[in-house]
């Protein structure tokens, strides 16, 4: 039973289905090569072309991604044919002329490798242009039409076969994928709400005993043992601003490559259910946003006049991001139930807060309605808004009662009784975030309602349904518009020079020397010289890390793949279906491994290329010389790439990532200054620039996105477990903490230029905060300098550790200043206003939240 269940899970997995689809398409398409009736009209590389379309060119396996890949590859074949015609027309049978003309065209094509948006063009054109030119050495243009025609037809046929396979073998559209993502995220949010409800309204097995403020400061805590998700963090709304300093230290501690201090991973390892769910939803949102880029290539087929409102998908996903952010903020309070629980509020103040539960459950109910994507209507939306407003009116009433009871309580004014204040302030933050969650959910319903309206309006839009995919034909020309800017970068310029120098060397024998020797021409044309060009185009990446990794990987796999292919030609040399099954077997094995481990997907390419190249291109005339020469050519290509990447202007993307992250830490220090100005604006009445805060946050988020892309595209898999992803998590965690502080400051808990007694307390607190800001900025600066060198070359961060110790002392001073000011304030309130509270409870300014 367990074996059958395991096999069923494997068969139903998306990795298995994707691998099987590509295998069937490539092997079945390759049958055209084995039949002589097609042999003169198509290239022997047809199976490789199909594999290339589905694995490399297609950036997603859904129908829209495959259609884009088919259009792109066919268009690339057309461009390559035009370039080949131009080169052969200029050369007029001269190999020397063809050599120099080819280098000029290779240079123009290689410029496209600089722009990530069109890099696929800069790589794939070599697959089609290179073989055409090499097979036409010494021939006039009139003698080369058969080769050009076969290459173009094979590329178009490969795209058609890829689309047909996607339609009939485990079909999946982007539209269905996005709608499925909405349903899954709705279920995840329902689980999150259920978990919040359980944490809020289920009595915990223990009760905290904390009546002394020193228990919150924890002066004896070992600073090296603190993690960003430490369960001993003080769960208080009013302490969020002072505690940002400690949070920043806890995040910066991960700079020293301690894996136990990675923010997100620690939380997940500790089993925080809500954080896990939020991480899953955020990953789903990012993947859905990526799929939206391919939605324009996926028209509606049934009916063909109905157009999907593609531009309305992104606002929906952005609203989902906002909703998840508010759920994470709710979890910041609720998950730390040491100092906040509804039962404790009832025990402390005698007021049950049952409306919070009603508001939570209503969020769950609204999320359940969103599962049916087209169920959002204006009437339902209006009713939801009315119910939410009614719920929060009840919550505000209960909150006012809790505030009144708290201020009447003698315990509230005791010097060492801080539990009640923490619970009340946590309740204030919970109510604010719960209201923000409802507003975000309302905005999500608005976005989905707009989608439904647009879907109805575009029910007869044939042109809008089919024409957007034609924009692909302008993409490579747009890529050249960014070349003047990109080529100014020294690293890009050196990369193009290295790449062209490598091409000049490897193309010299097949194009230049072959002009003067018929035997050399025959050997170069018939014994796999084209593999050198193809593999250099694949392997020569800008970063030395990825170039060396791929060279070594391809070098090792090529020997195994060539041996397997030669074995097939020995045992079943002329058996078409036996060879097809053999190709399918090893293609499927390589793909299954590659899809289960995406970091090694490119490692499956030499396996498939060797199988199809040797079996298909040498069909009916198999020889060991062909296999050996192919292996030698691949080794030459790997050696050329290795030498040029490591010895000539070596470029390290890992160093670039660390410099980008260093810049991110520097900008975090600048952000602390901007946040401080916003803090002064609210509490001191000074002028601030809130727009600069958002700009700086956006800049830091852009740096993190850039590093994540480089880690996925330019770095080898081993770097994904290095300090670079850790630093990305650290900076991202710091940025999230700053966003929470920004939300708190934007609430304006104390009116500007207020004359209440609270103002003096905050004036003293601000002075302590001001002294700490310089330390925070200095820590960010030291950390940014510390992370640039590789870990083996970093010195011990003595100065940074010194400032971290100072920061801990700052945190204690800030908390003590707050407690002392609070006690003085309470004594003033107790003597001046407590006797008038019953008559004037609404006239008192609450020091942290002003309800309207």
Instruction: Provide the pLDDT for residue 245.
Output: 39
pLDDT of residue 727: 83
- Listed range (264-273, 387-396, 515-524, 678-687) with the worst mean pLDDT: 264-273
pLDDT score, position 239: 37
Mean pLDDT of 840-852: 40
Does the pLDDT at position 756 exceed 50?
A: yes
Quickly state the pLDDT bin for 430 (edges 50, 70, 90): confident
Interval 220-242 mean pLDDT: 32
Task: Check: CB of residue 25 under 8 Å from CB of residue 585.
Answer: no
Residue from 702, 598, 719, 703 nearest 653 by CA: 719
Token code pair at residue 616: 């298909």
Contacts of 385 (CB under 8 A, 6+ apart): 442
* Band of residue 541 on the pLDDT scale cut at 50, 70, 90: confident
Greater pLDDT, 202 or 143: 143
pLDDT of residue 74: 92
- Say if residues 445 and 381 touch (Cβ distance below 8 Å): yes
Predicted confidence at residue 379, as pLDDT, reads 62
User: Nearest 5 degrees, angle CA 711-CA 166-CA 531?
Assistant: 60
Question: Is the pLDDT confidence value at 766 over 70?
Answer: no
How would you class 2 by CB atoms within 10 Å of its CB: exposed for 0-12, middle for 13-18, buried for 19 or more? exposed
Kindly indicate the confidence band of residue 222, based on its pLDDT and cuts at 50, 70 and 90: very low
Q: What value does the mean pLDDT take over residues 523-542?
A: 72
Q: Is the pLDDT of residue 594 over 50?
A: yes
With a CB cutoff of 8 Å and minimum separation 6, the contacts of 537 are 123, 126, 127, 130
* Amino acid 496: pLDDT: 92
Closest to 236 measured CA to CA, from 404, 435, 424: 424
CB 323 within 8 A of CB 434: no
pLDDT of residue 647 exceeding 70: yes
Judged by average pLDDT, the poorest of 366-380, 653-667, 809-823 is 366-380
What value does the mean pLDDT take over residues 800-829?
A: 74
* Average pLDDT, integer, range 638-644: 89
Cα end-to-end distance, the chain, whole Å: 62
pLDDT at 730: 81
pLDDT of residue 77: 92
Tell the residue number behind the tokens 């975090």, with chain if given: 668
Does the N-terminal peptide bond of residue 303 adopt cis geometry, omega within 30 degrees of 0?
yes
Which residue ranges form the domains of the chain, and what is each CATH number? Answer: 2-172+482-542+544-647 (no CATH), 174-229+272-471 (1.20.58), 653-840 (no CATH)
What share of the chain has pLDDT > 70, as a percent?
Answer: 73
The Cα 270–Cα 267 span in angstroms is 5
**Residue 601 to residue 19: CA distance in whole angstroms:** 11
Predicted confidence band of residue 25 (pLDDT cuts 50, 70, 90)? very high
Residue 433 Cα to chain centre, angstroms: 26
What's the average model confidence in pLDDT over 398-411?
Answer: 68
Cα(138)–Cα(97) distance, integer angstroms: 10
CA–CA distances in Å: residue 383 to residues 435, 690, 817: 16, 35, 47
* pLDDT tens, position by position, 654-708: 888 888 988 888 888 888 878 777 766 665 555 555 577 778 888 888 888 888 8
pLDDT of residue 685: 55
Res 317: pLDDT: 92
Q: CB of 641 within 8 A of CB of 547?
A: yes
Determine the pLDDT at residue 432: 78
Cα–Cα separations (whole angstroms), residue 411 to 81, 417, 421: 85, 7, 10
Query: What is the tens place of the pLDDT at every residue in 705-733?
Result: 888 888 877 777 777 777 788 888 888 87
Q: Give the Cα separation of 376 and 182 in Å (integer).
A: 13
**Positive or negative, the Cα torsion across 755, 757, 760, 763?**
negative
If pLDDT is split at 50, 70 and 90, which confidence band does 330 have? confident
Quote the tokens at residue 849.
């939240």
Q: Considering only 251-265, 352-366, 506-520, 562-576, which range has the smallest mean pLDDT?
A: 251-265
How high does pLDDT run on average in the chain?
75
Q: Give 6's pLDDT tier (boundaries 50, 70, 90).
A: low
Closest CA to 530 of 169, 147, 76: 147
**pLDDT band of 574, cuts 50, 70, 90:** confident
Lowest mean pLDDT among 57-61, 90-94, 248-252, 391-395: 248-252
Q: Give the model's pLDDT for residue 75.
A: 93
Which pLDDT value is given to residue 158? 92
- Distance of alpha carbon 432 from alpha carbon 851, whole angstroms: 10
Confidence (pLDDT) at 758: 58
Per-residue pLDDT for 170 more than 70? yes
Q: Which of 398-402, 569-573, 780-784 has the lowest mean pLDDT?
A: 398-402
Q: How far is residue 561's CA from residue 607's CA, in Å, rounded to a whole number?
A: 5
Higher pLDDT, 374 or 213: 374
b/e map 411-448, b = 16+ CB within 10 Å = ebbeeebbbbbbbbbbbbbbbbbbbbbbebbeebbbbb
Q: Where are the alpha helices (DSSP H) in 648-689?
A: 653-684
**In the chain, what percentage of residues exceed pLDDT 90?**
9
Q: What is the pLDDT of residue 234?
A: 31
Q: Are 247 and 808 in contact (CB under 8 A)?
A: no
State the pLDDT at residue 799: 78
The mean pLDDT value for 789-801 works out to 76
Q: Are the C-beta atoms of residues 122 and 112 closer than 8 Å to each other?
A: yes
Most confident of the ranges 13-17, 36-40, 337-341, 812-816: 13-17
**Whose CA is closest to 701, among 660, 655, 659?**
660
**Range of lowest pLDDT (120-134, 244-258, 334-348, 472-486):** 244-258
Q: What is the mean pLDDT of residues 504-527?
A: 66
| Other residues' Cβ atoms within 10 Å of the Cβ of residue 377 | 12
Measured CA to CA, the distance from residue 44 to residue 802 in angstroms comes to 67
Structural contact between residues 223 and 805, judged by C-beta atoms closer than 8 angstroms: yes
Judge whether residue 66 has pLDDT over 90.
yes
Cα distance between residue 118 and residue 346, in whole Å: 62
Which pLDDT band holds residue 512 (cuts at 50, 70, 90)?
low
**DSSP 8-class letter at 401:** H
Whether the per-residue pLDDT at 345 is higher than 80: the answer is: no
769-794 pLDDT tens trace:
777 777 777 888 888 888 888 777 77
């Amino acid at each position: 039973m367990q074996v059958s269940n395991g096999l069923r899970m494997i068969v139903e997995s998306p990795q298995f289905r994707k691998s099987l689809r590509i295998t069937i398409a490539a092997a079945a398409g390759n049958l055209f090569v084995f039949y002589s009736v097609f042999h003169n009209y198509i290239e022997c590389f047809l199976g490789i072309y199909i594999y290339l379309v589905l694995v490399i060119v297609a950036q997603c396996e859904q129908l829209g991604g495959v259609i884009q890949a088919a259009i792109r590859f066919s268009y690339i074949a057309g461009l390559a044919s035009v370039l080949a015609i131009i080169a052969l027309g200029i050369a007029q049978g001269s190999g020397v002329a063809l050599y120099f003309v080819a280098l000029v065209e290779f240079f123009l094509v290689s410029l496209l490798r600089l722009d990530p948006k069109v890099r696929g063009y800069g790589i794939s054109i070599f697959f089609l242009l290179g073989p055409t030119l090499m097979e036409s050495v010494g021939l006039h243009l009139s003698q080369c039409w058969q080769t050009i025609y076969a290459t173009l037809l094979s590329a178009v046929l490969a795209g058609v076969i890829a689309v047909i396979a996607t339609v009939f073998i485990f079909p999946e559209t982007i539209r269905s994928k996005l709608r499925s993502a909405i349903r899954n995220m709705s279920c995840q949010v329902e689980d999150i709400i259920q978990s919040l409800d359980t944490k809020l309204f289920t009595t915990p097995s223990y009760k905290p005993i904390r009546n002394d403020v020193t228990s919150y400061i924890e002066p004896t805590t070992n600073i090296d043992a603190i993690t960003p998700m430490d369960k001993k963090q003080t769960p208080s709304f009013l302490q969020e601003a002072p505690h940002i300093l400690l949070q920043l230290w806890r995040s910066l501690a991960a700079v020293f490559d301690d894996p136990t201090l990675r923010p997100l991973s620690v939380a997940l390892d500790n089993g925080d259910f809500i954080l896990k769910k939020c991480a899953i939803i955020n990953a789903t949102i990012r993947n859905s946003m990526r799929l939206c880029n391919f939605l324009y290539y996926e028209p509606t087929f049934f009916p063909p006049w109905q157009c999907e409102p593609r531009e309305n998908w992104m606002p929906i996903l952005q609203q989902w991001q906002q909703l998840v952010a508010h759920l994470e903020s709710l979890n910041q309070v609720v998950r730390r139930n040491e100092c906040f629980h509804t039962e404790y509020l009832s025990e402390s103040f005698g007021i049950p807060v049952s409306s919070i539960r009603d508001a939570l459950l209503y969020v769950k109910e609204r999320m359940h309605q969103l599962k049916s994507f087209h169920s959002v209507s204006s009437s339902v939306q209006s009713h939801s808004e009315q119910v939410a407003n009614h719920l929060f009116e009840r919550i505000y009433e209960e909150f006012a009662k809790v505030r009144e009871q708290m201020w009447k309580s003698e315990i509230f004014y005791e010097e060492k009784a801080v539990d009640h204040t923490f619970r009340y302030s946590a309740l204030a933050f919970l109510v604010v975030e719960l209201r923000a969650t409802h507003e975000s959910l309302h905005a999500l319903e608005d976005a989905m309602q707009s989608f439904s309206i647009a879907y109805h309006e575009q029910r007869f839009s044939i042109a809008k349904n089919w024409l957007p995919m034609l924009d692909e034909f302008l993409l490579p020309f747009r890529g050249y518009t960014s070349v003047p800017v990109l080529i100014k970068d020294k690293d890009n310029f050196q990369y193009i020079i290295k790449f062209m120098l490598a091409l000049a060397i490897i193309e010299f024998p097949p194009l230049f020397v072959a002009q003067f020797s018929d035997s050399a021409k025959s050997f170069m044309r018939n014994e796999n010289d084209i593999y050198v060009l193809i593999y250099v185009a694949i392997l020569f990446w800008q970063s030395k890390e990825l170039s060396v990794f791929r060279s070594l990987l391809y070098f090792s796999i090529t020997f195994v793949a060539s041996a397997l292919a030669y074995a097939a030609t020995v045992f079943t040399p002329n058996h078409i279906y036996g060879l097809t099954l053999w190709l399918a077997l090893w293609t499927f094995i390589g793909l299954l491994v590659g899809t289960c481990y995406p970091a090694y997907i490119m490692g499956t390419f030499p396996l498939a290329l060797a199988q199809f190249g040797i079996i298909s291109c040498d069909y009916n005339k198999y020889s060991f010389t062909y296999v050996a020469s192919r292996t030698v050519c691949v080794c030459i290509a790997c050696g050329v790439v290795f030498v040029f990447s490591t010895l000539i202007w070596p470029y390290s993307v890992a160093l670039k990532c660390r410099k980008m992250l260093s810049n991110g830490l520097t900008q975090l220090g600048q952000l602390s200054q901007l946040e401080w100005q916003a803090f002064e604006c609210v509490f001191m009445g000074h002028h601030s620039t809130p727009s600069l805060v958002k700009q700086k946050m956006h800049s830091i988020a852009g740096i993190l996105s850039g590093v994540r892309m480089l880690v996925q595209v330019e770095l080898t898999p081993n770097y994904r477990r290095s300090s670079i992803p850790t630093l990305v998590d650290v900076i991202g965690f710091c940025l999230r903490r700053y966003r929470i502080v920004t939300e708190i400051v934007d609430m304006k808990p104390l009116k500007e230029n207020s004359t209440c007694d609270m103002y003096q307390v905050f004036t003293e607190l601000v002075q302590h905060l001001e002294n700490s800001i310089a330390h925070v900025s200095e820590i960010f600066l030291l950390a940014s300098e510390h992370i640039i060198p590789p870990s083996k070359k970093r010195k011990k961060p003595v100065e940074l550790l010194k400032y971290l110790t100072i920061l801990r002392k700052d945190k204690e001073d800030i908390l003590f200043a707050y407690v002392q000011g609070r006690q003085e304030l309470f004594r003033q309130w107790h003597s001046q206003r407590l006797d008038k509270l019953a008559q004037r409870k609404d006239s008192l300014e609450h020091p942290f939240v002003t309800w309207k």
